[in-house]
Structures are given as structure tokens and as C-alpha cells.
Amino acid sequence: MVLICIQISSCSNKCSVEGLEVSELLSTVSKEKYQLNYCSLLKRALSGDNISIKKISLLNFDDAVGYDHGSILVDLIERIGEDTYLDSIKNINNNDKNKVKGYLDIGLMYSNKNKEEFSRKYLKDVFPKVYDFLCLK
């Protein structure tokens, strides 16, 4: 009985939001670093909420967490479309543009889905409008 209670009470931070898998590492680090629920923020972003799209895009992660985050951003843009994404980040500065571009480049290389249409492709080929916005200073 004690074992069952322990298993029930142990929490995993891994989640799935509309079919997008958020790694336990990404979820845990976002809670520790930003005191936010990454999965809830992603859900709002997927619904087209401009503030949430911008907020999730500007989070800063290091190492392996950055790879996971980049992959989620690629999936987010695929779902909501380039126009909605660009409308949400239209006022970011050049440093933030560079950061977002870096995450998207990594996300395309290491996509969770390893999609054929994204695998080994460049940002300018997959999301040309986003590329133009991020690369024009």
C-alpha cells in the first residue's frame, strides 16, 4: 500500500500539449528558472494568444534544454502559422531576434518529430517569412 501511495504522489513534469511532447527536463527547468508552467504557456500559445507566443519565444535556456525548446518553437510555428507568429513577436529587438533564430535553427536540426519536411532544412526554406523578419535588422 505504501508503494502505491509513493508512485501516485511522485510527479512527472513531462506533458503533452495537443500532441506536442514537452520533455521533463524542459518543464522542470522552466519551473525552476522562471517559476512558470511551460505546458500551460504552450497551450495558451497554441490557442493563438499573442502574449503567450511572445513569452514562450523569449525564454532563455542553455544546453540540452535549448534543443528541446527550439523543437517546440518549430512545432508552434507550424501549428499557428507564420503570420500569427510574426504578429506576436513583431516588436522584439535585434538581440531577441538573434536568440529566436538560434532556437529555430536548432529546432529544425533536432525536431522532436524528425519530420522529413524539416530534417536538415534551413529556416529560410521552412519558414521564409519568419526568416526574413529575424534576419532583417
* Tens-digit pLDDT string for the chain (137 aa): 433 333 333 355 678 899 899 999 999 999 999 999 999 999 999 999 999 999 999 999 998 899 999 999 999 999 999 999 999 999 999 999 999 999 999 998 876 555 555 655 789 999 999 999 999 76
- Please answer whether residues 15 and 39 qualify as being in contact, where contact means their C-beta atoms are separated by less than 8 angstroms: yes
Residue 5 has what pLDDT? 33
Residue 52 has what pLDDT? 98
For residue 129, give the nearest of 92, 90, 86 by alpha carbon. 86
Q: Report in angstroms the alpha-carbon separations of 110 from 12, 17, 51, 66.
A: 23, 19, 26, 10
Residue 14 has what pLDDT? 75
Residue 109 has what pLDDT? 86
Reported pTM: 0.85
- For 40, what's the count of Cα atoms within 13 Å in the CB-facing half-sphere? 6
Euclidean distance between CA atoms 74 and 127, whole angstroms: 9
